[in-house]
Amino acid sequence: MITQYPYANLGHVNHGWLDARHHFSFANYQNPERQQFGVLRVINDDVIKAGTGFDTHPHRNMEIITYVRQGAITHRDSNGNVGRTVAGDAQVMSAGTGVSHSEFNLENEDTNIFQIWIEPNQLEVKPRWDSHEFPKTPTGDELMLLVSGDGDAPLSIYQNAFIYAGHLVEGTELTHPIKHQAYVLVSEGSLELEGHLLNKGDALEVAELSSINMKALTDTKLLVIDVPQNTTM
């Protein structure tokens, strides 16, 4: 089963310093039909103005992944971690027993991120943070694994989930396997996926399929978030 969610239909709030689109209910945007997708609880498509950001605030028992699409984000937390993550790279934070952090755009341009929250399969773990620089070369015959819970990816989380990224040159075709169910995000460009046309900012939920076929109609960047249906503690 495939369900498409156009960018124009996402929840929207503009605070001036932050222009955010919500794929699921978040803060003041509440939609009873859009609570989560399996253990995938939050996806925010955030544009953060230069010199602004999220002031220090707390989290607990959540896996928080930030994928930077444009610009850079600078992280600070109550455990002393400090890091700058740039476009094409990702950072992860396991909130566990509790952590406070800030995320600021200290650049001279807007920063655009996907903020992703995934429910963990272990509670009250020791909080941690990590980031990684990924290759910026075009995708060949498979998407690049960024994040997983099995230790096979450069970045790890406490959940049996997988996050992949792709930079497909126009005309590239590939088949991507699905372990659980997948949420596809188009960061840039246009993509045909199983007969559906997706443009920048659009999303697709894929359930009950073991793989998906895609073709880049223009140079395209995308994420595929593969998550289980329920949290297993």
Q: What is the DSSP string of 209-226?
A: -SEEEEEESSSEEEEEEE
Tell me what the pLDDT averaged over the chain comes to: 96
Question: Average pLDDT, stretch 35-51?
Answer: 97
**Whole-angstrom Cα Rg for the chain:** 17
Give me the amino acid identity at 92: V
The C-alpha atoms of residue 48 and residue 29 are separated, in whole angstroms, by 18
Identify whether the C-beta of residue 167 lies closer than 8 Å to the C-beta of residue 214.
Answer: no
Question: Average pLDDT, stretch 165-176?
Answer: 97
Q: Provide the 8-state DSSP code for 209.
A: -
Q: Provide the 8-state DSSP code for 9.
A: G
Q: Provide the 8-state DSSP code for 37.
A: B
pLDDT at 233: 44
Could you tell me which of 72, 91, 93, 74 has the C-alpha nearest to residue 82? 74
Task: Report whether pLDDT(231) > 80.
Answer: no
Token representation of residue 108: 């001279």
Question: Average pLDDT, stretch 93-112?
Answer: 98
Q: Provide the 8-state DSSP code for 29.
A: B
> How many C-beta atoms surround the C-beta of residue 25 within 10 A?
17
Task: Report whether pLDDT(115) > 50.
Answer: yes
pLDDT at 149: 94
Q: Please give the CATH number for the structural domain made up of 2-227.
A: 2.60.120.10
What are the pLDDT digits (tens) for 198-209?
999 999 999 999
Residue ranges of domains in the chain: 2-227
pLDDT at 151: 86
pLDDT at 232: 54
Question: How many residues can be counted in the chain?
Answer: 233
Question: Average pLDDT, stretch 51-69?
Answer: 97
pTM above the 0.85 mark?
Answer: yes
pLDDT at 230: 80
The C-alpha atoms of residue 162 and residue 51 are separated, in whole angstroms, by 32
What are the pLDDT digits (tens) for 126-158?
999 999 999 999 998 999 999 999 989 999 999
